[in-house]
Each structure stands twice: as C-alpha cells, then as structure tokens.
Amino acid sequence: MVENLLERISRDTIVKGVLPVLTPEGKDQMVASIDIFQTAFLALCLSRLSDYVNSIFPVSSRGSIPSKDQISKIILRIQEEIEVVRMHGHLMLLVLHEIGKVLLLLAERAEYQISTGPEARQVTGPATPAQLKNFALCQHLQEIHTRISSTTSSLPTVASDVLSPSLGVIYGVACDSVTSLFQAMLDRLESFIIQIHEQDFGDQGMDAAMDNNASAYMEEFQKCTVHFRNEFLSKLLPSSPSRSETICTRLVRRMASRVLIFFIRHAALVRPFSESGKLRMARDMAELELAVGQNLFPVEQLGAPYRALRALRPVIFLETSQLAGSPLLQDLPPSVILHHLYSRGPDELQSPLQRNKLTPLQYSLWLDSQGEDQIWKGIKATLDDYEIKVRARGDKEFSPVYPLMLQIGSSVAETTSSQS
C-alpha cells in the first residue's frame, strides 16, 4: 500500500519535470520506518485466524470435531483477510504466507483427530462412530480446500502459488482420513474375485450350461458392493452431481477401475475352460459389470478397464483361428490375451504361474509390479520350455496357440524397444 503511494509520488514528480521528491534512499528509509506497522498487521492476522483454529480444534480434546458452521466461519475469515489486501501486491503475498501457516495448523489439528485402527477400516458392519468422524473430517477439509482454492484462482499466479503447498497438505490429510477405508474395501472385493480359481470352469456337464446363476463368489461380491453403497458411500458421496470431482468420488472411481482390472486378470488365468464354463464366466462378467455400475461407479466412465471387460467376454467364445485378426484384441492388454491363450493350449504348455509354482495371489502381486515387457519375458520362458518338449519327442506340430502367442509377444517386444 505504502510502496504504491511512494511509487506514485516519484512517478508524478518526474512527469511534471521536477526533480523527484523522493530519492531511492529516502524511499527505502520511509518503507523501513513503517515495517513495524506491517509486522504488527501480519501478527494480528495470524493471531486472529490461529485463535479461531485453536478454538474449534482444541489440542486437549481428541474426538470432538468442528461443525459445518464453524468450518464455514474459518473459511469466511480467511477470505476476508485476503479481500482486505487484494489490491496491495506485496502485502497480499505476506498475508498469504500467514494464511498458509494457518492452513498447516488446520491440517495438523485435523490429522490428530483422524481415527485409525480396526474400527476405522471395518467394512462388514454399519459405519462406526470412528468412521463417521473421519467422514466429517474429510468433508470439512475438502470444503476448505475447494473454497480457498476458488478464492485464490482469481489472484495473480504468484499469489496463488504461495498457498498451493499448504492447500496440498489440507487435501492430503482429507484423503488420509478415508483412504484406509477404501483400501480395506478393495482388499475385500479382491478376496472374493480371487476365489474364481476355486470354481470349476472346466465342467462339461449340461447342468452347468443350463444354470443361469452367477458363481457363488460373484454373489458374495455383489452383496458386498451393495453393503458398501448403503453403509458408506451414501454418507461420503455428494447427494447431487458436483462440478469438480470430490476426494471420495476419485477414490471410488479408482477402486472400481482396479476391481475391473483385477477381475480381467484372473478371468484370463482360468484354466481349463469348457463351453459351459465360458457361459458361466460370461454371466459372472455381466454380474460384475452390474454390481460395479450400480453400487460403486458408472462403468461406462471407467475408460480402458471397462472396454477391456467388454472385449474379454466375446473373446473367450472366439475360435483360436479367429483371434489374430479380431479388433477386440485392441482393447485388451497383451498379457491378458496371452494368459487366456493358455486355457486353449495343451497341459504341457505350463503358465508362468504353474512353471514357477506360485499361487494365483502370489502371481497377481508380481504382475502388479511389472510392465508388459517383463510379463512377456515370463511367458516366453514357458513357450521355450514347451518348444523343447515338443522337439524332444520328435514332433513338428505345435498347438495353434503357440505361434499366436509368439506373434503377440513379439509385438510387445517391438513396442518396448521403440520406446527405449
């Protein structure tokens, strides 16, 4: 404010052809003389906001959290402090630094209130008091992040950048308050999906073909998603569509994507696969799509994982000779196609899972940490073993899946080499 005034005085006297009233040294002296007032102003700003944070998040009280009204008040007070100095560049930056300290204090106090432990992670019963408290903290912090970010969006970039780190901390603590819940739910859903390997998809009987029910593991999966929707998501997700993606919307979208990817991976690993088994798998896929879409997140908005699920269903019914030219393969990761092809090959063509004597869960954990190129190397080793076995007994004919798998694998290798 004062710097602007002094700058104006200097500029005006130069325009009028008179020697400047203020020399640079004189200007610096005047600015220094009012530093004490500036320091006091900033201290009062910090004190006002910090005192209010301390009143709604007392250190001595763990378990009590502010009301929505109290959160709105702290937001309004921060916005008022910004508005007062909006037109005064240098002072505004200094005030924003003080507000950043207040936001960090808010994040620290909120983090102290987050409940952890089994009662915060359980997903089988109704939401516990600890979970309800975490939900409220998440929503409070998200409200602070959204509204203060909106306020700073109209400021110059250099000003909004001052608050960016502290707003990031606020957002991070908001995520921390509910992330363990979503991870616990994902773990539970994956535990149902991996039971796919306990089912008999190789059954040739007519009873299996005529059975219109989904597999038992998929029925449990569906019940679990309904419970999560009713007990947790109903309390976490906005009741009406939001212009910006909320933390919980992002977490549930990520969880839904992972569920589809995990299911596709393990459906591709199923072996053997009879015609009636394929029909049952198709029913399971339809049930999965319905359960995820109705209870977690609209599947059509999940992009690549959804396209992969929709592609895998018809792929399992194609003849091996039809696969190479099928456009459906474009929507499936090469590793998924390659894993599925084992179900069409002879028993002596062992999958990496069989070759390395791994459980489906162990192999799945390994897949999580690998790219397509490394997965292909593991698959190529099994193809090499198969080739040696065939040639050792003097045969010249290979299973139709063998050249197809080599063809798909070579495209993976070419893609990897072109990117390196």
* pLDDT tens digit sequence for 66-117: 999 999 999 999 999 999 888 888 889 999 999 999 999 999 999 999 999 8
Provide the Cα torsion 143, 148, 153, 155; round to 10°.
Answer: 170
Residue 19 has pLDDT above 80, yes or no: no
Buried b (16+ CB within 10 A) or exposed e, 303-318: eebbbbbbbbbebbee
- Nearest CA to 282 among 212, 202, 333? 212
User: For position 304, what pLDDT does the model report?
Assistant: 97
26 band by pLDDT with thresholds 50, 70 and 90: low
Q: What is the DSSP letter of 128?
A: P
pLDDT-wise least confident of 56-65, 91-100, 214-223, 398-407 = 56-65
User: For position 179, what pLDDT does the model report?
Assistant: 96
122 with 91, same domain?
yes
% the chain with pLDDT above 90: 72
339 band by pLDDT with thresholds 50, 70 and 90: very high
pLDDT tens per residue across span 359-375: 999 999 999 999 999 99
> What contacts 93, CB < 8 A, 6 or more positions away?
158, 159, 162
User: For position 46, what pLDDT does the model report?
Assistant: 92
- Nearest CA to 247 among 300, 181, 192, 294? 181
Residue 17 domain-assigned (yes or no): no
12 band by pLDDT with thresholds 50, 70 and 90: low
User: For position 3, what pLDDT does the model report?
Assistant: 60
292 with 226, same domain?
yes
Q: What is the mean pLDDT of residues 243-259?
A: 92
76 with 146, same domain?
yes
pLDDT tens per residue across span 292-315: 999 999 999 999 999 999 999 999
Provide the Cα torsion 169, 171, 176, 179; round to 10°.
Answer: -150
Residue 211 has pLDDT above 90, yes or no: no
User: For position 31, what pLDDT does the model report?
Assistant: 62
% the chain with pLDDT above 70: 88
Q: What is the mean pLDDT of residues 189-205?
A: 91
HSE (side-chain half, CA atoms, 13 Å) at 211? 19
Element (H, E) at 141: helix 129-152
The full DSSP string for 318-362 is S-HHHHTT-GGGGGS-HHHHHHHHHTTS-TTS--HHHHTT--HHH
- Nearest CA to 288 among 219, 212, 211? 219
Q: What is the DSSP letter of 400?
A: T
Looking at 317, 351, 379, the residue that finishes a domain is: 317
44 with 164, same domain?
yes
165 with 221, same domain?
no
48 with 106, same domain?
yes
279 band by pLDDT with thresholds 50, 70 and 90: very high
284 with 351, same domain?
no
Residue 186 domain-assigned (yes or no): no
Domain total in the chain: 3
41 band by pLDDT with thresholds 50, 70 and 90: confident
pLDDT-wise least confident of 7-21, 203-217, 314-328 = 7-21
Query: Average pLDDT over the chain, rounded to whole?
Result: 89
157 with 41, same domain?
yes
239 with 292, same domain?
yes
151 with 62, same domain?
yes
Residue 154 domain-assigned (yes or no): yes
Residue 187 domain-assigned (yes or no): no
345 with 224, same domain?
no
Give the integer Cα–Cα distance in Å for 244 and 379.
Answer: 43
Domain that residue 403 falls in: 338-420
50 band by pLDDT with thresholds 50, 70 and 90: very high
pTM value is 0.88
User: For position 173, what pLDDT does the model report?
Assistant: 97
> What contacts 247, CB < 8 A, 6 or more positions away?
138, 142, 171, 174, 175, 178
203 with 310, same domain?
yes
User: For position 380, what pLDDT does the model report?
Assistant: 96
Residue 324 has pLDDT above 60, yes or no: yes
Residue 209 domain-assigned (yes or no): yes
pLDDT tens per residue across span 375-419: 999 999 999 999 999 999 888 889 999 999 999 999 888 877 677
pLDDT tens per residue across span 142-177: 999 999 999 999 989 998 999 999 999 999 999 999
What are the φ and ψ backbone dihedral angles of 271, each rounded to 5 degrees?
Answer: -160, 130
Element (H, E) at 91: helix 89-113
User: For position 40, what pLDDT does the model report?
Assistant: 86
First to last CA, the chain: 55
Q: What is the mean pLDDT of residues 228-241?
A: 88
User: For position 206, what pLDDT does the model report?
Assistant: 52
> What contacts 418, CB < 8 A, 6 or more positions away?
none
